[in-house]
Structure 1
Amino acid sequence: MTLTIPDDVRAKAEVYVGDAAGKEKTRLLLEETGLPSGLLPLQDIIECGYVEETGFVWLKQKKKVDHYFAKAGRHVSYAAEVSAIADKGRLKKITGVKAKELLIWVTLHEICLDDPPTGKLVCKAIGGLSRSFPVEAFVAEAPPPPPNNPAAATADTTNNTQQATNGEVPKKETTNTEQQADDDKEESAAAAIDGIDEKMKEMNKENVVQAEAVPLAAKN
């Protein structure tokens, strides 16, 4: 069944286009109503609309999504078009959502928190059937944390690989202590070279004096 949004309803609505914007609005809406964050696990959202005045919300995705809530042990099917009236702790007048009960799919028309709160979420189907599940069974899992500074690590690895390919040896970063040791070595080497130069000069002077003394000895 195609979900048609009347022009007067659309005119009053906040409309979000695209998967990222649709998912963010869905997350915020569930948070504002106090419902668990993973209750509407839609994918490839095309459009999300919300009328704050009435609580009417609609969601359009590229194709239907079948999701298995492992902690609740239930398969739930979300049609390509889903709508509901969002209220505090409740989604009512739902369209496009079915849950598998034993071997049959039943159409859900309301999902709500127990009142007074008991930590349970009640799913009500057309025909009077209802089931209660722990709220945490419908909480979305947090994404894994990103690795520490992956961009920098990748850049260093790529740079070192490129240098190795070009026949270059990657430069090693030196600490202040290593730099001081290198400076001391350079100073010691320079002092040794200066000493050798002085020694060579002295030897040259001695050779000159001896060379001058030989003719004088011959004359005598």
Structure 2
Amino acid sequence: MAEREGGTVVKGHDEGIKMASALLEEFELPAGLLPLADVIEVGFVRSTGYMWILQKKKVEHNFKMISKLVSYDTDITGYVNKKKIKKLKGVKAKELILWPPVNEIIVDDPPTGKIHFKSLAGITKTFPVEAFAAGK
């Protein structure tokens, strides 16, 4: 795919987790934002901010602090920059009986301790950033 050209790619779970964690840290996003399992590949194109993650199976993670169930597809893509992920694909958050896709994630800058999740339907949900710390 054209958007992946010139990207840094790592294969395998351990290296993939390291790279995904490093990207979250570099762009000042919460470390627990992407609870991944059985990672096949992680890639990042620094010139555009395009990132992709391939994992063997879909992962559902419950963020206990906010009682929010989030689904991560086998193929997750998006554009990462400081405190932001745009055009996100492959992530859905459960809302009652629906699973609307999360399209954008923004951490307040300057920091207020809040993180915002926007769906394509225009719905924005705001939570405390610490709910997405590693291991939550």
Q: TM-score, normalised to structure 2's length?
A: 0.96
Could you tell me how far apart the structure 1 residues matched to 2:47 and 2:72 are? 25
- The equivalent residue for 1:133 is 127
Aligned residue identity for 2:105: I
Letter in 2 for 1:37: A
1:96 aligns with 2:90: yes
In structure 2, what is the Cα distance between the partners aligned to 1:128 and 1:115? 21
| Larger of the two Rg values belongs to structure | 1
The 3-state SS of whatever aligns with 1:121 is strand
The equivalent of 1:63 in structure 2 is: 57
Following superposition, the deviation at residue 104 of structure 1 comes to: 1.0
1:152 match: none
Say yes or no: does 1:120 pair with 2:114: yes
| 1:49 paired residue among 38, 43, 53 | 43
Partner residue of 1:155? Answer: none
**Cα contact 2:4–2:50 (8 A) shared by 1:** no
Identify the match of residue 28 of structure 1 among 18, 22, 25. Answer: 22
Instruction: Find the counterpart in structure 1 of residue 101 from structure 2.
Output: 107
| Coordinate RMSD, CA, aligned | 1.3
Instruction: Note the alpha carbon deviations across 1:124-158, whole angstroms, 9 max, x for none.
Output: 1111101110100000139xxxxxxxxxxxxxxxx
Letter in 1 for 2:45: V
Q: How has the CA–CA distance of structure 1 residues 106 and 9 changed in structure 2, closer, same or farther, with 3 Å as cutoff?
A: closer
- Distance across 2 between alignment mates of 1:64 and 1:77: 7
- Across the two proteins, how many residue pairs are aligned to each other? 136
1:167-206 counterparts in 2 under 5 A?
none
Q: Which has the higher helix share?
A: 1
Residues 102, 117 of structure 2: 8 Å contact kept = yes
Does the CA contact (< 8 Å) of 2:5 and 2:45 recur in 1?
no
Q: Distance in 2 between matches of 1:120 and 1:72?
A: 13
Structure 1 regions of 5+ residues with no counterpart?
1-5, 143-220
* Structure 1 segments (4+ residues) deviating >3 Å: 8-11
Answer whether contact 2:41 2:55 (CA < 8 A) is retained: yes
Match of 1:214 in 2: none
Residue 67 of structure 1 aligns with an amino acid whose one-letter code is H
> Given residue 13 of structure 1, which amino acid in structure 2 is its aligned partner?
G
**What CA distance in whole angstroms lies between the structure 2 residues aligned with 1:48 and 1:101?**
28
SS at match of 1:12: coil
Task: Give the fraction of aligned pairs with identical amino acids, expressed as a percent.
Answer: 46
Pick the structure with more strand per residue. Answer: 2
* Counterpart-to-counterpart distance in 2, 1:141 and 1:40: 10
